[in-house]
C-alpha cells in the first residue's frame, strides 16, 4: 500500500508567532519500500511522521493510505506501527507484556496473542528476553522490543522516528542492517526519519531531503547524491561534506577565482561551485593551485586538508589514493572531475550545471 | 591517613547534625522511649514520678475499657474507609484535572483550599453545616428538595435516622446516631485529605512522559485501559507513598473529631462514641487521677504496634505491586 501526502501543511501557532513546520508537502511513498525522511533538526521531518501516524493533526492537506483518505482518522484506526525515538516502552511491563499490549487492545484470542508475540520476538531476535523489564535491556535490545511492539499488530505502515540516534556507533551499524532485514522480510511500507545522511543513504530505498518544512529532493540515495538539485542537498549529503568555492562563468569557461577548472555553456555570471572530496585529481597540469595543510592517512585513501583563497570555509578537504605523495605546507595543483563538480546559482542556490 | 580523614569527617558530620540530634533526642526520642516505660509502670504519677510497680495492668485496663474498644473500632473504620476512598477520589480528580487545559489552575486552587485552611475552623463550619436542627445548611437543602431533616449530629428527635435496621437507635455505641455522625466525620476527613493527595498525584501525572500515551494511542488502548494499564502502574510509587502516610495519618485522627464533636467526641446524647485512639490518649492525659498517664501511654503503644504491623504489611504488598 502506497502512502500519498497531498499539500500537507502543519502550522504551529501561538499568540505571538507561527511556524510553518511542514509546508505543502507532496510525496508519494511507494508500497513496500523503505523511505528515509532526511533533514537537519527543525526541518519538519518528525512533524511529518507524526501527522502520518495520526498523533498530530495537519493544518491543511491530506494523507492517503492507498485510496483511503486517512487525514481525519485517529491514530489507532490507521493501522500503523510507530517506533519512538526513545522507544517509549512501558517501564512497568515485561518485554512480553509490552509486545502483547497492542494485541490485547484488539481483543484477539489469547492463543493468537501468544503465538504472534512469539513470532515477532523471534523476528527481531529477543525471544530470550521476554520476561525482562525494559530497564534490564541494553539500548539495542530496547530498540528491537519497540520494533516488535510496532510490528506485532501487523500494520500496513511502519514508522520509525530517529530509530538509531540512541545507539552507539557499533550498534547503529548492526541495527540499521537489522531494520533493513526486517523490512525486507515483512515487505511493510516503512518510513523513517533521521538527520544522519549516512544512515539514510545506507538503508533507504528512497530518500526525501527536507529543509524548513519543504521537500528539496526525492530519489534513490545514490541519484540524489550524484545529482543534487541545489546547494542545500549537495551540502547535506556526503561525508566529508562537499567543498564550496566562489567562482564565475566567463566566455564559456568555469572559473574558481581566476583559475579555469572547466567549461560551461551558460551565460557569464557569478556562481557557487561545489566539488565532492573525491572529485579532485592531483596533477601538475591541474589548474587549481592549493596549499596542503594536513594529510591524514585513512588506509586505502588519504584525506587532505588544504586551503584555497576562494574556498567558502578556511580549509577544504579532498580524498585521493594513498599512493600519491603530498607534503604538508607545500603547494599542489589539482584538476577537478567534471562529474563531481556542481555549479549553483549564487543567489537562489539552485543547481545550474 | 585515609582512616584518620574518615574519623575527622565523621566528627564533622556529627557536629553539623548535632543541633537536630539534640533537639530530636529531647523532644522525640526520649518521650518515645519514656512512653514505653510509663506504659508498664503501675499507678504512675506524672507529677512526682512515683509508681507502685511494673506490669501489664495498664494494657489490660485499656484493652478492657469500653471507650478504648470504641475508639479502636472507630479508628480502624476511619482508616479503612477514608484512605481507599480518598485515594481513589484524588486519583480520579487528578486525572481529570490533568486532562483539562482551560481552568486547570482555577480548579487546582479550589481543590487545594482545604489544605491551607485551619482544620479546627473547617470542622466547626462542618458542625454548623450539618447541625441536626432544621436550620442547618445541609438540612435546609434536603428540606427544600422535599426531604426530611436528618439527625446528623444528634439532638433532633424529629430527624430521620439512616439505616434503622442495621444500626439500632438503642445501641449504646454503634447506634444509628453513631452512623450518621460517622458519615459526617468521614465526609470531612476525606474532603480534607484530598488536596495533598491531588497535589502529589497531579505532579506525578505531569511528569509521566507523554510518549507513553502516544504509544498507547497508537497501540489502540481504550481510555479505561490507558488508566488501568498505563497511568495507575506508572503512579504506583506515589500511590503507595500516599497509602502508607494516609494510613498513619488516619490512625492518628483526632483534630477533626474534636472540631466537629467537641472534646467529648460525641454527638448530642452519645457517649464518647465517635472517640478515636488518639482522642482516648489525650483524654487520659488530661485526666488528673493517678495512673491515667500510664493508661494513655499503653493506649499509645498499642496504636504504635498496630501502625507498625500495618506498615510492614503495606511494604510487603508494595514489593509485589509497585512497579519499577
Domains of chain A: 3-236 (3.40.50.300), 243-345 (no CATH)
pLDDT beyond 80 at B323: no
CA distance B92 to chain A (A): 21
- Inter-chain touch B219–A88, beta carbons under 8 Å: no
Give CA–CA dist B79/B63, Å, rounded.
20
CA distance B195 to chain A (A): 27
Assign A240 a pLDDT band (cuts: 50, 70, 90).
confident
pLDDT of residue A182: 85
Per CB-CB distance under 8 Å, the chain B contacts of A74 are 217
Give CA–CA dist A331/A318, Å, rounded.
14
Q: What angle, 0 to 180 degrees and rounded to 10, lies between the N-to-C axes of helices A110-124 and A169-186?
A: 130
Give CA–CA dist A40/A345, Å, rounded.
22
pLDDT of residue B47: 85
- Inter-chain touch A80–B218, beta carbons under 8 Å: yes
Task: Say if B108 falls within a structural domain.
Answer: yes
Assign A263 a pLDDT band (cuts: 50, 70, 90).
confident
Task: Say if B181 falls within a structural domain.
Answer: yes
Using the Cα atoms of residue A77, residue A81, residue A86 and residue A92 in order, give the sign of their dihedral. Answer: positive
pLDDT of residue A167: 78
Assign B56 a pLDDT band (cuts: 50, 70, 90).
very high
Mean pLDDT to the nearest integer, A216-233: 90
pLDDT of residue B174: 76
Task: Say if B153 falls within a structural domain.
Answer: yes
pLDDT of residue A102: 92
Q: Compare all CA atoms of chain A with the CA of B214 and give the residue at the minimum distance.
A: A55
Beta-sheet pairing, A34-38 with A206-211: parallel
Residue A1 · residue A156 · CB < 8 Å: yes
Interchain CB contact of A136 with B (< 8 Å): no
Give CA–CA dist A97/B269, Å, rounded.
58
Q: What is the pLDDT of residues A51-78, one digit of tens each?
A: 999 988 899 999 999 888 988 888 888 8
pLDDT beyond 60 at B1: no
Interchain CB contact of A107 with B (< 8 Å): no
How many other CB atoms are there within 10 angstroms of residue B249's CB atom? Answer: 16
Per CB-CB distance under 8 Å, the chain B contacts of A54 are 218
pLDDT of residue B181: 87
Task: Say if B49 falls within a structural domain.
Answer: no
Who among B219, B233, B236 is closest to A105 (CB)?
B219
Q: What is the pLDDT of residues A163-195, one digit of tens each?
A: 888 778 887 888 888 888 888 888 889 998 988
- Inter-chain touch B324–A92, beta carbons under 8 Å: yes
Predicted ipTM? Answer: 0.79
Q: Which of A118-127, A246-255, B74-83 has the highest mean pLDDT?
A: B74-83
Give the position of cell 540515495.
A221
Give residue ranges of B with CB < 8 Å to any A CB: 209, 211-212, 214-222, 225, 229-230, 233-234, 236, 323-324
Who among A84, A93, A153 is closest to B211 (CB)?
A84
Percent of chain A with pLDDT over 90: 21
Burial of residue A104 (number of CB atoms within 10 Å: 0-12, 13-18, 19+)? middle
**Selected residue with higher pLDDT from B177 and A65:** A65
- Inter-chain touch B221–A105, beta carbons under 8 Å: yes
How many other CB atoms are there within 10 angstroms of residue B135's CB atom? Answer: 10
- Inter-chain touch B324–A133, beta carbons under 8 Å: yes
CA distance A250 to chain B (A): 57
3-state secondary structure chain B: CHHHHHHHHHHHHHHHHHHHHHHHHHHHHHHHHHHHHHHCEECCCCCCCCCCEECCHHHHHHHHCHHHHHHHHHHHHHHHHHHHHHHHHHHHHHHHHHHCCCCHHHHHHHHHHHHHCCHHHHHHHHHHHCCCCCCCHHHHHHHHCCCCCECCCCCCCCCECCCCCCCCCCCCCCCHHHHHHHHHHHHHHHHHHHHHHHHHHHHHHHCCCHHHHHHHHHCCCCHHHHHHHHHHHHHHHHHHHHHHHHHHHHHCCCHHHHHHHCCCCCCCCCCCCCCCHHHHHHHHHCCCCCCHHHHHHHHHHHHHHHHHHHHHHHHHHHHHHCCC
Q: How many domains does chain B have?
A: 1
Give CA–CA dist B297/B37, Å, rounded.
9
Q: What is the mean pLDDT of chain A?
A: 88
Mean pLDDT to the nearest integer, B56-74: 91
Per CB-CB distance under 8 Å, the chain A contacts of B236 are 92
Who among A74, A82, A90 is closest to B212 (CB)?
A90
CA distance A104 to chain B (A): 9
pLDDT of residue B3: 62
Give CA–CA dist A100/A148, Å, rounded.
10
Q: What is the pLDDT of residues B85-98, one digit of tens each?
A: 999 999 999 999 98
Task: Say if B17 falls within a structural domain.
Answer: no
Interface size, chain A vs chain B, as Cβ–Cβ contacts under 8 Å: 61
Q: What is the pLDDT of residues A121-157, one digit of tens each?
A: 988 888 899 999 999 998 888 988 998 999 898 888 9
pLDDT of residue B238: 92
CA distance A142 to chain B (A): 14
Mean pLDDT to the nearest integer, A221-245: 89
pLDDT beyond 70 at B2: no
Percent of chain B with pLDDT over 70: 92
Q: What is the pLDDT of residues B277-311, one digit of tens each?
A: 999 999 998 888 888 999 999 999 999 999 999 98
CA distance B211 to chain A (A): 6
- Inter-chain touch A55–B218, beta carbons under 8 Å: yes
CA distance A101 to chain B (A): 7
Mean pLDDT to the nearest integer, B16-44: 93
Q: What is the CATH number of the domain that holds B81?
A: 1.10.3720.10
Task: Say if B166 falls within a structural domain.
Answer: yes
Give A 215-274 residues with CB within 8 A of chain B.
none
Domain housing B270: 58-321
Task: Say if B16 falls within a structural domain.
Answer: no
pLDDT of residue B25: 94
Interface test mutation site (partner B, options A75, A87, A137, A153, max chain B beta carbons within 10 A): A75
pLDDT beyond 60 at B324: no
Task: Say if B44 falls within a structural domain.
Answer: no
Amino acid at each position: 500500500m502506497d502512502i500519498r501526502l497531498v499539500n500537507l501543511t502543519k502550522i504551529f501557532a501561538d499568540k505571538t508567532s507561527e511556524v510553518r513546520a511542514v509546508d505543502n508537502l507532496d510525496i508519494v511513498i511507494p508500497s513496500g519500500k523503505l523511505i528515509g525522511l532526511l533533514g537537519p533538526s527543525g526541518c519538519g521531518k518528525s512533524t511529518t511522521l507524526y501527522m502520518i501516524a495520526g498523533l498530530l493533526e495537519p493544518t491543511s492537506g491530506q494523507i492517503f493510505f492507498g485510496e483511503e483518505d486517512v487525514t481525519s482518522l485517529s491514530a489507532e484506526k490507521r493501522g500503523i506501527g510507530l517506533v519512538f525515538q526513545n522507544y517509549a516502552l512501558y517501564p512497568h511491563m515485561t518485554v512480553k507484556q509490552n509486545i502483547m499490549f497492542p494485541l490485547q487492545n484488539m481483543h484477539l484470542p489469547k492463543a493468537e496473542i501468544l503465538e504472534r508475540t512469539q513470532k515477532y520476538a523471534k523476528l527481531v531476535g529477543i525471544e530470550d528476553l521476554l520476561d525482562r523489564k525494559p530497564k534490564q535491556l541494553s539500548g539495542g535490545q530496547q530498540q528491537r522490543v519497540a520494533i516488535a511492539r510496532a510490528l506485532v499488530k501487523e500494520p500496513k505502515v511502519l514508522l520509525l522516528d530517529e530509530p538509531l540516534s540512541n545507539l552507539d556507533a557499533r550498534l547503529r551499524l548492526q541495527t540499521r542492517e537489522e531494520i533493513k532485514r526486517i523490512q525486507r522480510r515483512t515487505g511493510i511500507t516503512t518510513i523513517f526519519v533521521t538527520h544522519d545522511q549516512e544512515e539514510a543513504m545506507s538503508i533507504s530505498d528512497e530518500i526525501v531531503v527536507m529543509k524548513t518544512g519543504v521537500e528539496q529532493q526525492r530519489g534513490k540515495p545514490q541519484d540524489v547524491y550524484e545529482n543534487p538539485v541545489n546547494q542545500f542537498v549537495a551540502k547535506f549529503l556526503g561525508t566529508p561534506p562537499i567543498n564550496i568555492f566562489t567562482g564565475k562563468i566567463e566566455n564559456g569557461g568555469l572559473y574558481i577565482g581566476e583559475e579555469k577548472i572547466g567549461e560551461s555553456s551558460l551565460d557569464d555570471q557569478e556562481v557557487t561551485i561545489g566539488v565532492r572530496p573525491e572529485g579532485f585529481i592531483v596533477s601538475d597540469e591541474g589548474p587549481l593551485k592549493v596549499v596542503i595543510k594536513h594529510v591524514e592517512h585513512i588506509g586505502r585513501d588519504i584525506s587532505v586538508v588544504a586551503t584555497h583563497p576562494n574556498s567558502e570555509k578556511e580549509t577544504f578537504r579532498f580524498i585521493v589514493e594513498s599512493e600519491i605523495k603530498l607534503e604538508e605546507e607545500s603547494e599542489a595543483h589539482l584538476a577537478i572531475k567534471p562529474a563531481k563538480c556542481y555549479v549553483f546559482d549564487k543567489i537562489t542556490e539552485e543547481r545550474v550545471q | 591517613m585515609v582512616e584518620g580523614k574518615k574519623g575527622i569527617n565523621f566528627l564533622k558530620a556529627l557536629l553539623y547534625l548535632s543541633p537536630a540530634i539534640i533537639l530530636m533526642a529531647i523532644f522525640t526520642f526520649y518521650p518515645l522511649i519514656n512512653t514505653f516505660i510509663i506504659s508498664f509502670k503501675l499507678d504512675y504519677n506524672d507529677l512526682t514520678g512515683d509508681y507502685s510497680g511494673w506490669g501489664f495492668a495498664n494494657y489490660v485496663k485499656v484493652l478492657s475499657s469500653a471507650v478504648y474498644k470504641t475508639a479502636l473500632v472507630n479508628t480502624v473504620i476511619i482508616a479503612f474507609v477514608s484512605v481507599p476512598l480518598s485515594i481513589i477520589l484524588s486519583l480520579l480528580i487528578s486525572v481529570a484535572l490533568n486532562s483539562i487545559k482551560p481552568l486547570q489552575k482555577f480548579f487546582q486552587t479550589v481543590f487545594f483550599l482545604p489544605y491551607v485552611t485551619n482544620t479546627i475552623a473547617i470542622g466547626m463550619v462542618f458542625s454548623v453545616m450539618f447541625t441536626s436542627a432544621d436550620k442547618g445548611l445541609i438540612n435546609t437543602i434536603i428540606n427544600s428538595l422535599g426531604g426530611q431533616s436528618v439527625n446528623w449530629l444528634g439532638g433532633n428527635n424529629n430527624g430521620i435516622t439512616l439505616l434503622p435496621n442495621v444500626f439500632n437507635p438503642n445501641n449504646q455505641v454503634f447506634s444509628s446516631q453513631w452512623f450518621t455522625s460517622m458519615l459526617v466525620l468521614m465526609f470531612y476527613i476525606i474532603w480534607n485529605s484530598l488536596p495533598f493527595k491531588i497535589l502529589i498525584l497531579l505532579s506525578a501525572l505531569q511528569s509521566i512522559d507523554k510518549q507513553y500515551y502516544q504509544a498507547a494511542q497508537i497501540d489502540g488502548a481504550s481510555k479505561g485501559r490507558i488508566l488501568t494499564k498505563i497511568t495507575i502502574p506508572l503512579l504506583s510509587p506515589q500511590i503507595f507513598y500516599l497509602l502508607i502516610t494516609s494510613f498513619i495519618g488516619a490512625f492518628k485522627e483526632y483534630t477533626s473529631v474534636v472540631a466537629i464533636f467537641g472534646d467529648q467526641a460525641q454527638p448530642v446524647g452519645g457517649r464518647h462514641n465517635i472517640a478515636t485512639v488518639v482522642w482516648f490518649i489525650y483524654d487520659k492525659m488530661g485526666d488528673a487521677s493517678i495512673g491515667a498517664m500510664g493508661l494513655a501511654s499503653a493506649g499509645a503503644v498499642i496504636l504504635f504496634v498496630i501502625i507498625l504491623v500495618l506498615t510492614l504489611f503495606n511494604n510487603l504488598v508494595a514489593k509485589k505491586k509497585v512497579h519499577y
